[in-house]
C-alpha cells in the first residue's frame, strides 16, 4: 500500500518503522525537518518538509495516488481538517486521524473519519485500520467495536451469513444488494455482488479479513 503519514513525532516515526517492516510504501510529511531524525537509518521512503495543510505539499506527497493517509500531528484541528480533505477532495480510501479530545472523536466518527484517541492509541491499532484491504471502515462504536463493509467473496456466495457470525466477535448486520439495503436473517444466503456490513470487535478484524480473503 502507498501510505502518507503526516507528522513525524514519536507516533509518526513509530508508524513509519512498523509499516515499512510490513512492506508498505511510506511518505512522511512534517513542517520541521528535525523530526526526521527519529526515523530508523534504513528508512527508504520519501521525506517531505512542508505544511500538511498545503495543497501543493499534499500533491507532492502524491495524495491522489495514495491508498491510505494517517494524520498524527500534535493538533486535533489540523488532523481533522486534513483527514476531511483526504476523504472528500482526494478520495483517499483509508484515512485515520489522531484526536486528543474524545468528544471530538465521537463527532468525527459520525462523519466517517476513523479517529484514535491518545487513551486508546497503539501503533498496531492504526496499522489494523488501514491495512485490511478487504474491509472498508465505516464507523467506530467506542474504542473496541468497528462497523465495516466488505464485498462478498466468491467462495462464500450461496452460503448463509451465519458463516461470518462469531458470537461476541463479528456478525453481518445489513446487506446492500441491487441498490437496496436490508437487514438479513440468520439463514439469508450471500449472493454475488453483495456488499456486507459487519459489526466486528477490533481484536477480530484480522480474522474476519482473512476469512473474506479466501
CATH superfamily of 133-212: Regulator of K+ conductance, C-terminal domain (3.30.70.1450)
pTM: 0.66
Q: Return residue ranges of the chain for CATH 3.30.70.1450.
A: 133-212
Q: Which three cell numbers stand for residue 8?
A: 513525524
Of residues 157, 154, 155, 188, the one with CA closest to residue 171: 188
User: What's residue 154's pLDDT?
Assistant: 86
- The pLDDT of 181-198, averaged and rounded, is 93
Q: Which residue has the cell 480473503?
A: 213
Closest CA to 12 of 1, 32, 23: 32
pLDDT at 142 over 80: no
Q: What is the CATH number of domain 2-124?
A: 3.40.50.720
Start and end residues for every CATH 3.40.50.720 domain found in the chain: 2-124
pLDDT given for residue 41 in this prediction:
86
Mind spelling out the 3-state secondary structure of 139-204?
Answer: EEECCCEEEEEEECCHHHCCCEHHHHCECCCEEEEEEEECCEEECCCCCCECCCCCEEEEEEEHHH
- Give 183's pLDDT tier (boundaries 50, 70, 90): very high
Query: Strand 2-6 to strand 25-30: parallel, antiparallel, or no bridges (unpaired)?
Result: parallel
Is the pLDDT assigned to residue 185 strictly greater than 70?
yes
Decide if 180 contacts 146 (C-beta within 8 A). Answer: no
Q: What is the pLDDT of residues 5-57, one digit of tens each?
A: 999 998 899 899 888 888 889 999 999 999 999 998 888 899 999 999 999 99
* pLDDT confidence of residue 109: 66
More confident residue, 186 or 129: 186
Residue 119 has pLDDT above 60, yes or no: no
pLDDT in tens, 57-115: 999 999 999 999 999 999 988 999 999 999 889 999 888 888 877 677 667 766 667 77
Amino acid at each position: 500500500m502507498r501510505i502518507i503519514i503526516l507528522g513525524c513525532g514519536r507516533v509518526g516515526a513509530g508508524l513509519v518503522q512498523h509499516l515499512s517492516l510490513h512492506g508498505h510504501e511510506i511518505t512522511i510529511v512534517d513542517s520541521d525537518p528535525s523530526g526526521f531524525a527519529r526515523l530508523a537509518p534504513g528508512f527508504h521512503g520519501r521525506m517531505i518538509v512542508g505544511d500538511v495543510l498545503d495543497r501543493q505539499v499534499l500533491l507532492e506527497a502524491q495524495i491522489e495516488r495514495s491508498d491510505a493517509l494517517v494524520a498524527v500531528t500534535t493538533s486535533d484541528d489540523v488532523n481533522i481538517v486534513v483527514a476531511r480533505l483526504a476523504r472528500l477532495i482526494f478520495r483517499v480510501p483509508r484515512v485515520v486521524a489522531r484526536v486528543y479530545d474524545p468528544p471530538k472523536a465521537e463527532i468525527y466518527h459520525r462523519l466517517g473519519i476513523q479517529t484514535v484517541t491518545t487513551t486508546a492509541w497503539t501503533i498496531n491499532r492504526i496499522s489494523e485500520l488501514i491495512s485490511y484491504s478487504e474491509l472498508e471502515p465505516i464507523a467506530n462504536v467506542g474504542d473496541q467495536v468497528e462497523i465495516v463493509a466488505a464485498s462478498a467473496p466468491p467462495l462464500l456466495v450461496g452460503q448463509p451469513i451465519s458463516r461470518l457470525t462469531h458470537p461476541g466477535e463479528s456478525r453481518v448486520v445489513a446487506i446492500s444488494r441491487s441498490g437496496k439495503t436490508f437487514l438479513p436473517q440468520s439463514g439469508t444466503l450471500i449472493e454475488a455482488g453483495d456488499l456486507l456490513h459487519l459489526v466486528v470487535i477490533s481484536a477480530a478484524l484480522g480474522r474476519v479479513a482473512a476469512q473474506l480473503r479466501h
